[in-house]
Amino acid sequence: MALSNGGVIGTDNDPSTGPLITTFNSSGTFTSGAKSTTASYLVVAGGGGGGGFHYSGGGGAGGFRTSTDDSFPISASTGYPITIGAGGAGLPNSTSTIGNSGSNSVFSTITSTAGGGGGGQNGTGADGGSGGGGSAYPPSVGGAGNTPPVSPSQGYAGGTSAGPIGLSGSGGGGAGSVGANGVNTSSDVPVPEKVGGAGKGGNYDPDATSNQGPGQAGSTNKGSGGGGACHPGVGPSGVSGAGGSGIVIINEENGAATASGVWNMDDLYTYVKADNWV
């Protein structure tokens, strides 16, 4: 059967290659390009959930690991399983326990560790990629970051509470800095797409006359930590915020191949002789 190839007679040129970026917001399989032997990556784990009760610590950000120099070795035309870590679930305000840690994200041999849950009443934050913040009463320390240790560091420790004055739990650790020490604020670290933000600590106001609301949830596919539970006031009990899910981004320098669209003379002769050229 004749080929409808639309070829152009001329010099035989090799296909060209260029960069190709693949983003995973959920688990799947990454298949490398036919000419790819190296890549760079961003792997962010799920953030930790905030601690229970109303002066708990914020969840730590999911571990943040990246390579930007296109030196990570991969095999051409090969499938690599990708795991996207979920964020830790939030807790009811009545549950005075440590927050739920997130889940790991994985690409090839690179594992980013989940963010640690925030400390509940009378509790420290959990260790993780970034540690969860400590609760305010009694003053508690934040969980350790970069656990297990990798280089460069994948995260920072959660904040340590400044004490019962104001009863504000500490912020979780972020991808760029240690958690806030007993200050009821949150901040996103200055990294691409604002991934790796720390969860803010919950507060307790004994004079509250209305529900202060639940802890803020971490952002989806940014690995942010969830906020600690706030004082429920006279309304329904607030809950701590859930951590945000992770993300994996892979950049292949030679992942995209473009055909030349030009046939050489030997191929042309072969197809014409076989009556296979249209």
Beta-sheet pairing, 110-112 with 38-44: unpaired
Cβ atoms within 10 Å of 256's Cβ, excluding its own:
15
Asked if 147 and 127 count as a contact pair (C-beta separation under 8 A), the reply is: yes
Longest CA–CA separation in the chain, Å: 93
Verdict on whether the full-model pTM lies above 0.85: no
Cβ atoms within 10 Å of 139's Cβ, excluding its own:
16
Residue in the block written with tokens 């509250």? 208
In a 13 Å sphere around the CA of 61, the CA atoms on its Cβ side amount to 36
Q: How far apart are CA 121 and CA 99, in angstroms?
A: 10
Question: Would you list the domain boundaries of the chain?
Answer: 18-258
Q: What is the pLDDT along the chain (278 residues), one digit of tens a residue?
A: 444 445 455 444 556 667 888 999 999 999 998 889 999 999 999 999 988 877 788 889 999 998 877 889 999 999 999 999 999 998 876 667 889 999 999 999 999 999 999 888 778 899 999 999 888 777 788 899 999 999 999 988 988 876 554 556 666 666 666 664 433 333 222 234 455 666 666 665 555 544 455 677 878 898 888 888 776 554 445 678 899 999 999 998 876 665 555 555 666 667 677 766 55
* 167-185 confidence digits (pLDDT tens): 566 666 666 666 644 333 3
